[in-house]
Amino acid sequence: MEIRAPQAWPTTEAAALAVQAELRPQVRAVPLGSRPRTLAGLDVAYAGAHGSADDEVAAAVVVLDAETLEPIEQATAVGKAGFPYIPGLFAFRELPVLLRALEQLTVTPDVFLCDGQGLAHPRRFGLACHLGVLTGRPTLGVAKTPLLGEWSEPDAERGSTADVTDGGGVVARVVRTQTGVKPVTVSIGHLIDLDDATDVVLRAAPRYRLPETTRLADRLCRDALQGVADATGVKSA
DNA sequence: GCGACAG
DNA sequence: ATCTTGTCGC
């Protein structure tokens, strides 16, 4: 798919903050126009994981049929993170390589499920929002742990939710995707609203805590990273 | 100032 | 994120 990626990515914290400030106003919270037919899962794996800019990274995107959750297409990309891990500036570490994986897709997914936050971010511009603005497509964030906000514990049954508020507004929703398991944090990225985002996540996670999109992308990027290690001559069992 | 902090 | 075996439970 076509993507308008930045000519150059920021390498300093100040430059990254400036990019977020510039793009944040473009985020739109609106209902999905129609039922999504395809869902894309994105994830990145790290080698070393010291959180430094020169960590080796592998990104993966997996497109699934929204109804059957069966894989339709997938792509990967590897490289250097290019930016250190700084909470709130997470996107500058994963987006560059993620976009290179997305460019290889021959189909354009209806909704992108990101591994991380969207609006539930210090400056209301997490990874999911950033990806949405750059692609112009609906995106949402589903995080395993919250980054900020206050909420009450949702009921134990699958489907139970509780709004997450921060700074006086609702920025996300904790969603119990499976009965008795720790809820995930869902927030909008772009061109979707919280109700639709919650619905998409619940339908994508019929069996496990994390959506099938995330699970498959996680497996794929880990394999891709291992593939780099093998080609580099790193011994393994 | 100190600690926390998506992955 | 990643380093890592076994173990408790459905």
For residue range A10-29, list pLDDT tens digits in order: 999 999 999 999 999 999 99
Q: How far is the CA of A22 from the C1' of C4 (A)?
A: 42
- CA-nearest of A38, A80, A40 to A217 is A40
Beta strands in chain A (DSSP E): 38-47, 56-65, 71-80, 111-115, 139-143, 161-166, 169-175, 184-190
pLDDT of residue A235: 58
Please provide the distance, in angstroms rounded to a whole number, between the alpha carbons at the two ends of chain A: 37
Q: How far is the CA of A133 from the C1' of C6 (A)?
A: 45
d(C-alpha A161, C-alpha A53), whole Å: 36
pLDDT of residue A218: 96
Domain ranges within chain A, ordered by starting residue: 14-231
- The SS3 assignment for A147 reads coil
Instruction: Give domain A14-231's CATH superfamily.
Output: archaeoglobus fulgidus dsm 4304 superfamily (3.30.2170.10)
User: Which range, A6-10, A48-52, A85-89, has the best average confidence (pLDDT)?
Assistant: A85-89
Q: Which nucleotides of B are covered by protein (CB under 7 A)?
A: 5-7
d(C-alpha A188, C-alpha A44), whole Å: 20
pLDDT of residue A6: 87
